[in-house]
Amino acid sequence: MTDTRNGRREAQPDSAFEFTGTWREFLPIALTNFLLIIVTLGIYRFWAKARERRYLWSRTRFIDDSFEWTGTGLEMFIGALIVFAIFLPVILFFQFGLQAMVLRGETLAAGLLAAALYFGIFYLIGVGTFRALRYRLSRTFWHGIRGGSADGGWYFGWQWMWKSFVGALVLGLLIPWSKTSLWNDRWNRMSFGEHRFEAAATPDGLWGRWLLIYLTPVIGLLAMAFLGLGGALLGDGGDGGEGAVVGVVIAFVLFYLLFLVLSVSFYAAFYRRVASDTSVAGLNFEFTARTMDWLGLILGNIALVIVTLGAGLLFVGYRNWAFVIRHMEASGEVDLDRLLQSTAYAPGEAEGLADAFDIGAI
């Protein structure tokens, strides 16, 4: 990995990304955030999120400089209030208005209106997904340069709707296409400095893994029937019924384990694919986490939460961020003299829509 400055090429460490944080440093932040969230009945969580991000970003080095997070809790709080103001009337109408229309005999109109509201909410989920990424890029600085987008996300909302619908056709067989296509649609509208991201991900290599997930329910039903029948036949005397139940339970557990492993395998391949097909300003990215790496993260998070009786939830965000950074690579050259500041609009409403729907950054 190299960067170019004033005609000079300076060698950089083998890994372009490095996370230098430690759990001992993060512990005081997590504990005080937790206590303040309880004392404020949850209101402080917006400031807690900003404080956590400031730490994680500051401990993330890219080439020769660390990232800086400039977002504030107040921005995220205002974004949440805006979403609340939008959705409160919708929730009240679902709760009382539709029932009133049905009682008056306006069943068809109520059904059409309910369908329109559901489509509207789904559309807003797409807009929220776009705006969450736009906001986070606009508050992420490196060498004093930030990212962002001049797009408001309204067009992406329609893309999200129809591609998600088409992806679900034929019982979901087109989902690999819809997911990679939506990744391209979102990232191709983002920029860092004056340089646009370029994403050209394809579902090549993902179809086989998706088909395995698709066939998992069939395999699970066959396993339940086989083990249930086997348990019944092996049972002595009146124990046949108990043997069948045991067999079905075993098959049920194995089904969920298989479904987990295959799902993680698909998403591991998905993120490797889309990262390798995304670039900006001459930099090409690579995400190296494989299925076993993801399983280690997921099972480790679950074990941490169980062993600590829930207190481990404070560290899940820290572990997830560290995992992503430690498996992220980049190659190419960076010319800092040509990496100009972004002129894209920096939104002030934060990521309220995405937060309302619990949508992650990636």
pLDDT at 358 over 50: no
Q: Kindly indicate the confidence band of residue 339, based on its pLDDT and cuts at 50, 70 and 90.
A: low
Nearest 5 degrees, angle CA 251-CA 257-CA 258?
85
Cβ-based neighbours of 67, under 8 Å, separated by 6 or more: 57, 58, 60, 61, 140, 141, 142
Asked whether residue 96 is assigned to any structural domain, the reply reads yes
| Domain of residue 99, residue span | 79-199+343-362
pTM across the whole model: 0.83
- The neighbour count for residue 33, using CB atoms within 10 Å, is 18
> What digits encode the pLDDT tens for the residues 217-258?
767 666 655 655 555 555 554 555 555 566 666 767 777 888
Q: How confident is the model at residue 233, as a pLDDT?
A: 53
Out of 76-80, 200-204, 273-277, which region has the weakest mean confidence (pLDDT)? 76-80
Cα 272 to Cα 290: distance, rounded to the nearest angstrom? 8
Reading the block at residue 82, the tokens are 């805006």
Residue 266 CA to residue 176 CA, distance in Å, equals 9
In a domain, 41, yes or no: no
State percent of the chain over pLDDT 70: 79
Q: Write the pLDDT tens digit of every residue in 82-125.
A: 888 888 888 888 778 888 888 888 888 888 888 888 898 899 99
pLDDT of 342: 52
Report yes or no on 101 lying in a domain.
yes
- Give the confidence band of 6 by pLDDT, cuts at 50, 70, 90: very low
Residue 310 within a domain = no
Q: How many domains does the chain have?
A: 1
Q: Which of 6-10, 141-145, 203-207, 279-283 is least confident?
A: 6-10
**335: pLDDT confidence band, cut at 50, 70 and 90?**
low
In this structure, is residue 129 part of a structural domain? Answer: yes
Q: How far apart are CA 267 and CA 7, in angstroms?
A: 41
Q: Grade residue 158 by pLDDT with cuts at 50, 70 and 90.
A: very high
Residue 283 has pLDDT above 50, yes or no: yes
Q: Which two tokens stand for residue 292?
A: 């076993």
Q: Three-state DSSP class for 319?
A: helix
Q: What digits encode the pLDDT tens for the residues 294-332?
A: 999 999 999 999 998 888 899 999 999 999 999 999 988
Give the rounded percent of residues in the chain with a pLDDT score beyond 90: 49
* Residue 192 near residue 280 (C-beta atoms within 8 A): yes
More confident residue, 336 or 119: 119
Q: Give the β-pairing of 278-280 and 283-287.
A: antiparallel
Q: Where are the alpha helices (DSSP H) in the chain?
A: 23-39, 45-58, 73-92, 98-103, 107-138, 154-172, 175-187, 207-234, 240-276, 291-307, 316-326, 352-356
In the predicted model, what is the mean pLDDT of the chain?
Answer: 83
- The two tokens of residue 241 are 């019924």
| The pLDDT of residue 29 | 96
Here the tokens at position 347 are: 């939104």
Please report, as a single letter, which amino acid is at residue 67: F
**pLDDT recorded at residue 282:** 85
- What's the Cα-to-Cα distance from 217 to each of 20, 64, 175, 225, 262, rounded to whole Å? 42, 48, 17, 12, 12
Q: What is the pLDDT of residue 315?
A: 93
